[in-house]
Structure 1
């Protein structure tokens, strides 16, 4: 596997700092929040024409927020001190255009913010813009009829993944230090892998509740995205905590996630599966790159054993749980909205509408079996490691790959099978950059952790990051599409 060499970054010096370094400077008062805001704005204006990661910006609102920044929570471990962040365009921010990536809502401006946004702002985050997403987050390539395509900063002819592609691309190019994502079928894990950043899918309820209007939903969750594991832990500290507005939320841990990461043991016990007992599909190129990464990790002192738990009925279970969300939310929008939906979103909704009660019951029973199998398996390992996706990013114009090493893919989520397990079982998962392929594009490794084991999973991810020489970036976009 290729390693990072001579990564170029011509943006403001402040933008090259890690989020932890930036927040530490803000806490000490050595740099003013307005300086970070100015640096973020300069970088956004410099690179947006090439990547289209954050199409909606709200600089005036951000400046107003700085004027009213409340330091009463400055001792909270998740205090961000006035650091600019991005919010995905599926999450409402008061007074800021929020389109959900769908044409019928292109002019939607909500009056109130999502509870997670309110929490982040209370803890010193400054929202500077909305990051691009496919329509209602459906799809692993970020494009829509409102804003168009988001490009991968490492090679702008390639896609940035989805549905949190705008968040990942904005981080990789240094526009912001932290960016909120969300995840159903790897929606923050895949773009993190494609763009060389860290994407963390926490247990349901750790980082806020379910999607707007569907608070008891546990499959689609928000999570932190950042350029390093420690930055990701800091952002999770800012997100975490009991919220009476969320029926599934629970308290933050006694020790901060960031502190857990700083104490990480570099030697962990990893179960690695290249194909999840034949369930997933992996290209020869991806298999080679990940085996090289696992060899590096083993040489750094970790134990790597090829093993995987039994995963009965995972495909059908995941598809049923996923379809409930589509039928319940975008599937109940007014016809004036639905008439603009892309075909793949329509197909998702129709699948959900055609479920029987037995389908739903079977899915709930099966997910319990899967949970039991994985949790007992993890008694002997710190994490289960596997691909994030089975192939490297494709052309930005391609909605989803039609084949993998010559084998046809049956539909637009088949290639995302490695994302199903964490979603169906409610276990935390993280995508960590572990190097680059022969074309210089990042490669990510997925780690799945124990039940509500966010802290231990982040610590394991840090051990992996150390072993492979990360973190990487930020970078100047490699503009290859002109």
Structure 2
């Protein structure tokens, strides 16, 4: 049987197989993606620091290595653009800040080290908000990233460049990071899949504070199978990351069970707003509610239920402010006018925190983790919104209101994601529907800490049952 031709919209798994079987070379695959970048990136501004010549040299080297009988990595020959907050040796890495506009790191951070070792062909970076702060991707170095489904709309953030590049076929896979929803939110906005793994699943190094655990690295892809492929590269222990989980990456790269059978008998808790914890746009709420029928139709037992996360809002905001001040406070003091106002304000919030405030946040986080553990004795997965709104206009920093109700701060519309952050549980955004205007909406599936493989199986089964396919 003849194989379908490889295009930039093919799955990453199909691309890897085609390169291994020599049906397409790494150089040919790169050229297909460079053509797509030429066609889409001027409008979307998803990929920055593009270096086509260096990428072509890398692709040629990948082909020579294969011809010489070299051992091929899991992503051999795939074009790849790294999130611009992840230090990449020899490649301009700006963190979305004018203070680092010409910064070129001397070494890769661990997530990039693993991606390179898997055999990718680097072609550039993906755009981010300044220092990855905020779920809308814009900065004063490269400008705003736009949504492939409607370029007047936000692509989300902070991994917005990654999500927009994926959805438009400029790259087959993407890396990202997530503190308050930065893998999940842009995935929902752009109609792709984004996973915030369990704490410790994707180790990070170097960090200014190896024990800071609100932010994690993770994968994005156009479908759950491709995401599992990349998680297999990113996951696994490393001696430089003392809290890394011990499961090897191959656990996640193994083929997912076919069909929706993984949902049969699944105990699903579904909530649109966690009992009134946040406001949700009516169209988003309708998509989340409709997912109940998808689960039930595949044999799951769905109940209206949710965990008590009443301490999560203060916990997240306290730890976020403490983290931002610890990491960026000296930079703000040295360059007081160089950081965007919302980021500067959050850094300054951290100045006023006491040791008792931080201790309270960690104590409450411990309470939340225990409460989630007990909740998941009754249910296998929690379903809720990824983002409380569909993609908003790209010329706004954040949505000022939801259903006519004003948002007091620029974090309020992100609660559905960041309340889950402080539980430590893995959470994945999977495309689930569309607004009347044709904008994608994802649902967030949450599983017990450590159950990342089971979460992928459920997500893949839901993906197949829902049948929502990218349109960008």
Task: After TM superposition, give the deviation of residue 187 of structure 1 in Å.
Answer: 0.7
Partner of 1:181: 176
State whether structure 2 residue 15 is matched by structure 1 residue 15: no
Distance 1:159 1:334 in 2: 27
Task: After TM superposition, give the deviation of residue 212 of structure 1 in Å.
Answer: 3.6
Closer/same/farther in 2, CA of residues 421 and 211 from structure 1, 3 Å limit: farther
Closer/same/farther in 2, CA of residues 170 and 254 from structure 1, 3 Å limit: closer
Distance 2:444 2:408 in 1: 23
For 1:297-336, what aligned pairs fall within 5 Å after superposition? Answer: 297-333=295-331, 335-336=333-334
Tell me the SS of whatever aligns to 2:93. coil
Task: After TM superposition, give the deviation of residue 149 of structure 1 in Å.
Answer: 0.7
What is the root-mean-square deviation in Å for CA atoms of aligned residues?
1.9
Which deviates further from its counterpart, 82-91 or 223-232?
82-91
Partner of 1:60: 53
Tell me the SS of whatever aligns to 1:270. strand
Aligned counterpart for 1:205 among listed residues 184, 200, 203 = 200
Distance 1:209 1:338 in 2: 29
Q: How many pairs does the alignment contain?
A: 461
State whether structure 2 residue 32 is matched by structure 1 residue 39: yes
For 1:377-416, what aligned pairs fall within 5 Å after superposition? Answer: 377-416=375-414
Task: After TM superposition, give the deviation of residue 255 of structure 1 in Å.
Answer: 5.4
Tell me the SS of whatever aligns to 1:461. helix
Partner of 2:423: 425
State whether structure 2 residue 97 is matched by structure 1 residue 102: yes
Distance 1:372 1:112 in 2: 38
Distance 1:348 1:297 in 2: 39
Distance 2:458 2:244 in 1: 24
Which deviates further from its counterpart, 302-311 or 64-73?
64-73
State whether structure 2 residue 446 is matched by structure 1 residue 448: yes
Q: Could you tell me whether the CA contact under 8 Å between 2:294 and 2:465 is conserved in 1?
A: yes
Aligned counterpart for 2:462 among listed residues 457, 461, 464 = 464
TM-score norm. by structure 1 comes to: 0.91
Task: After TM superposition, give the deviation of residue 422 of structure 1 in Å.
Answer: 2.8
Aligned counterpart for 1:135 among listed residues 130, 139, 146 = 130
Higher RCO (C-alpha 8 Å, min separation 6)? 1
Q: Could you tell me whether the CA contact under 8 Å between 2:225 and 2:255 is conserved in 1?
A: no
Q: Could you tell me whether the CA contact under 8 Å between 1:181 and 1:224 is conserved in 2?
A: yes
- Cα-to-partner distance string for 1:12-43 (whole Å, 9 max, x where unaligned): 95211101111122222322111111111111
Distance 1:152 1:119 in 2: 29
Closer/same/farther in 2, CA of residues 459 and 85 from structure 1, 3 Å limit: same
Which deviates further from its counterpart, 316-325 or 393-402?
316-325
Closer/same/farther in 2, CA of residues 244 and 63 from structure 1, 3 Å limit: farther
TM-score norm. by structure 2 comes to: 0.93
Q: Could you tell me whether the CA contact under 8 Å between 2:332 and 2:339 is conserved in 1?
A: no
Which deviates further from its counterpart, 262-271 or 319-328?
262-271
Distance 1:260 1:185 in 2: 29
Unaligned runs of 5+ in 2: none
Q: Could you tell me whether the CA contact under 8 Å between 1:209 and 1:247 is conserved in 2?
A: no
Closer/same/farther in 2, CA of residues 464 and 422 from structure 1, 3 Å limit: same
Unaligned runs of 5+ in 1: 1-11, 476-482
Distance 2:15 2:140 in 1: 35
Aligned counterpart for 1:29 among listed residues 22, 27, 31 = 22
Distance 2:108 2:56 in 1: 17
Q: Could you tell me whether the CA contact under 8 Å between 1:58 and 1:96 is conserved in 2?
A: no
For 1:56-455, what aligned pairs fall within 5 Å after superposition? Answer: 56-69=49-62, 74=71, 79-209=74-204, 212-253=207-248, 256-259=251-254, 261-262=256-257, 265-267=262-264, 268-333=266-331, 335-455=333-453
